Amino acid sequence: MELPRLLPAFDRSGDPVIGMALLDALSLAKGRSNVSPELLRPRLAAYPEAVRQRGEALLVTWRSDAARQARELDAMLAGVRGGDHVRGQLLFNSPKAACNACHAIGYRGGKIGPDLTAIGQIRSERDLLEAILFPSASFARGFESVVVTTTTGDAVTGVLKSEGDAIVLVLVDGQERSIPRADVADMQPGTISLMPAGFAEQLSRQELADLLAFLKGTRWGA
């Protein structure tokens, strides 16, 4: 599900066998929609022309995938209406979905992702379902991921909390990591959400309907 985090392993190779193996794996991966042209093209630059051409052909296919993804979202939306908000609340707080590890509702929950207390009043059901199934399709303002590359070559992804003499990131596990400014070689906007993709496979249609009903019903007040 986190393919972009694995791609840097291929940065130091130019072997065409390895390049083709990478593209073979990506072509079959369920999470390939999380791999953007901006992520893939630079990693193929050191490989032979045949590898780069095949990579471009895959990107054309993936653009078609994006259109299909939109159609799938609309089709799925029609099949996940009428859920039970009580079951949805239990799922939201359960280890299976673990939404509350990153998101708060009311006075409980994590702070890594946006507060969802009144999300049902400002987002449509389609927007909510897209956020659940395709979290990297868009980012909530203030919760965009960034990738910090250190002078030792480590890449650290998180949500930017503060920057000054040190860059402070909130990581996917909720922990904070402080990186001294002198140790930062580069900092770029992230292209994937810290929220994992794959809920379409992890949750049943009924569970998605229940979760959607719960989120759509959230609001401040009685």
d(CA 78, CA 81): 6
d(CA 173, CA 165): 24
> In the structure, what pLDDT confidence band is assigned to residue 111 with cuts at 50, 70 and 90?
confident
d(CA 32, CA 59): 10
- The number of angstroms, rounded, from the C-alpha of 164 to the middle of its chain's C-alpha atoms is 27
The sheet carrying 176-180 orders its strands as 176-180, 166-170, 155-163, 145-150, 184-189
**Residues 166 and 62 placed together within one structural domain of the fold:** no
**Residues 50 and 128 placed together within one structural domain of the fold:** no
**Residues 9 and 73 placed together within one structural domain of the fold:** yes
Q: Is residue 222 part of a domain?
A: no
How high is the pLDDT of residue 6?
Answer: 83
Name the residue range of residue 210's domain.
80-138+195-216
Q: Is residue 29 part of a domain?
A: yes
> In the structure, what pLDDT confidence band is assigned to residue 64 with cuts at 50, 70 and 90?
low
d(CA 161, CA 142): 9
Instruction: Name the pairing type of β-strands 145-150 and 155-163.
Output: antiparallel
End-to-end CA gap in the chain: 38
**Residues 10 and 103 placed together within one structural domain of the fold:** no
How high is the pLDDT of residue 1?
Answer: 46
**Residues 63 and 93 placed together within one structural domain of the fold:** no
Position of tokens 């996917």? 172
Q: How many domains does the chain have?
A: 3
d(CA 93, CA 78): 25
Q: Is residue 57 part of a domain?
A: yes
Q: Is residue 221 part of a domain?
A: no
For the ranges 20-29, 82-91, 186-195, the one whose mean pLDDT is highest: 82-91
107 phi, psi to nearest 5 deg: -105, 10
For the ranges 65-74, 143-152, 175-184, the one whose mean pLDDT is highest: 175-184
Alpha-helical (H) ranges within the chain are 3-6, 16-28, 37-44, 49-79, 85-92, 119-122, 125-133, 199-202, 205-216
Its pTM stands at: 0.64
For the chain, give the mean pLDDT: 86
**Residues 71 and 16 placed together within one structural domain of the fold:** yes
Does residue 79 register a pLDDT over 90?
no
> In the structure, what pLDDT confidence band is assigned to residue 201 with cuts at 50, 70 and 90?
confident
**Do 129 and 212 meet the contact criterion of CB atoms below 8 Å apart?**
yes
How high is the pLDDT of residue 214?
Answer: 94
**Residues 47 and 62 placed together within one structural domain of the fold:** yes
**Residues 71 and 7 placed together within one structural domain of the fold:** yes
Average pLDDT over every residue of 71-79: 84
21 phi, psi to nearest 5 deg: -65, -40
